[in-house]
Amino acid sequence: ACTSNDPADTAQVKTDTSGNANAATGPKVVIGFSAPAADHGWIAAITNNAKAQAAQYSDVELRTVEAGADAAAQRAALATLIAQKPNVIVMLPHDGKELNATGLEAMRAGIPVVNLDRAFPSAAAYRLQIKGDNYGMGLAAGQYIGEQLKAKGVSNPIIGEIPGIDSLELTQERTAGLNAALAVYGFKVANRRPAEFTADSGQAAATALLQALPKMDALWNHDDDQGIGVLAAVKQANRGEFFMVGGAGSKTAIEAITKDDSVLKATVTYSPSMASSAISLARLIGQGKGMSDLVELQVPKEITLASETITKDNASKYAKLGF
């Protein structure tokens, strides 16, 4: 089963490994794994989930290589990994385009590549693409904001946005999704102050935003980690006339939504659980098996996780999934 569709039936982020033919121990699979150095909770969760999932299987050996600080470092690290000839490689690239060549190299060397989250432009560079939906995330946030404002009868709302690192493509996609969704309601973003996925930068960006918009109706903050700082800034500025939507679905955010004592009313997921799924599917690929709920004999080529909206009403369901 795929975690993204039905997270409730799994223990936190591990897929169900029992009561399923695929769970039976098969031939040993060595999975090479590489993700960027984490200075962020989401990426840390990606690596942790991958490790936890691999530990579930007695027939999987996970070999993680640290990918360092940038694409060049990751290329170097993957070169050493390819030389070790694992059965499958799961990687979350710094940048899909910059690591496309490495993906091709691995595939040419006969190692199937599972690309996590950041797509390679060339289809020949991966066997499986499993990713979150950045555009869909923005869309979900926009829809929630639009619905809420419509319900409140606000006609000309002032909407703020706090993206993460603005030079990243994923940020661009999220923003595009938000704008598309808001356009449906005839709304648009009044001010946009990017942060850097860290709480202190979130605080700084939010402070600037709040200063620029003395009155606001809604705010979308792309990332729950930086959201800690955003919420702090809101409190420090003594503001509360608006509601806020988060992004990614961290534990703190889900708790805050449940408690309902801050402006944070919802968050749209971009779950690191995709790493767990990636390991499971990599194992299946390594063993030549398919996904048991699908008729096809092999694992499909692309899987995109849906972005869900967590609100006070369904928060309990997602509590376990927060990272």
Partner 1 sequence: MTARTALPRRTDNDQVLRNLGLVGVLAALVVIGIVTRPELYSDPAWVRNNILTILQQASAIGVVTVGMTFVIIGGGIDLSVGAIIALAGVWSTTLATQAYGAAGMIFTALVVGLAVGLVNGVLIAYGKLVSFIATLAMLVSARGLAAQISGKQTQVSTNDTINSIASSRLIGIPVLVWILAAVVVAGWVLLNRTTFGRRTVAVGGNPEAARLAGIDVKRHTMLLFVLSGLCCGIAAIMLTSQATSAQAAMANLYELDAIAAAIIGGTLLSGGRGTIVGALFGVLVFSTITNLFAINNLATEVQNMVKGGIIVAAVLLQQFRYRSLTNLLRRRNDPDIS
Q: Which residues in this chain contact partner 1 in the complex, by CB under 8 A? A: 37-41, 43-44, 63-73, 75-77, 79-80, 83, 95-101, 121, 166-169, 171-172, 190-194, 196-204, 207-209, 211-212, 214, 225, 228-229, 231-233, 235-238, 252
In single-letter form, the type of residue at position 316 comes to S
For residue 272, what are the CA distances in angstroms to 14, 16, 84, 229, 309?
A: 11, 17, 27, 21, 15
CB-CB contact of 223 with 198 (8 Å)? no
Least Cβ distance, residue 77 to partner 1 (angstroms): 5
- Name the 3-class secondary structure at 191: strand
What is the rounded CA–CA span in Å between residue 71 and residue 255? 35
In terms of CB distance, is 141 or 170 closer to partner 1? 170
Query: In the bound complex, what is the minimum distance in angstroms from residue 259's beta carbon to partner 1?
Result: 14
Closest approach of partner 1 to the CB of residue 290, in Å: 32
DSSP-assigned beta bridge partners for residue 131: 304
Which CA distances in Å does 157 have to 127, 193, 227? 45, 18, 22
Nearer to partner 1, 127 or 192 (CB): 192
Asked if residues 170 and 141 have their Cβ atoms less than 8 Å apart, the reply is no
Query: Least distance (Å) from partner 1 to the CB of residue 190?
Result: 7
Q: How far is the CB of 266 from partner 1 (least distance, A)?
A: 20
CB of 135 to partner 1, least distance (A): 14
Closest to partner 1 by CB, 150 vs 239, is 239
Alpha-carbon distance of 62 to 28, in angstroms, equals: 11
Amino acid found at 130: I
Of residues 73 and 303, the one with the C-beta less far from partner 1: 73
Between 193 and 287, CB nearer to partner 1:
193
In angstroms, what is the minimal distance from the CB of 83 to partner 1? 7
Output 209 or 284, the one with its CB closest to partner 1.
209
**Of 160, 183, 155, 142, nearest in space to 241 by CA:** 160
- For partner 1, which is the closer residue by CB, 23 or 44? 44
CB of 202 to partner 1, least distance (A): 7
**177 strand-pairing partners:** none
- Of the pair 75, 265, the CB lying nearest partner 1 is at 75
Give the angle subtended at the CA of 172 by the CAs of 208 and 227, to the nearest 5°: 45
Q: What is each CA distance from 79 to 75, 102, 108, 109, in whole angstroms?
A: 6, 8, 13, 11
Element (H, E) at 311: strand 309-311
CB of residue 7 to partner 1, shortest distance in Å:
21
Pick between residue 86 and residue 281 the one whose CB is nearest to partner 1: 86
Question: What sign does the CA torsion over 293, 296, 299, 303 have?
Answer: negative
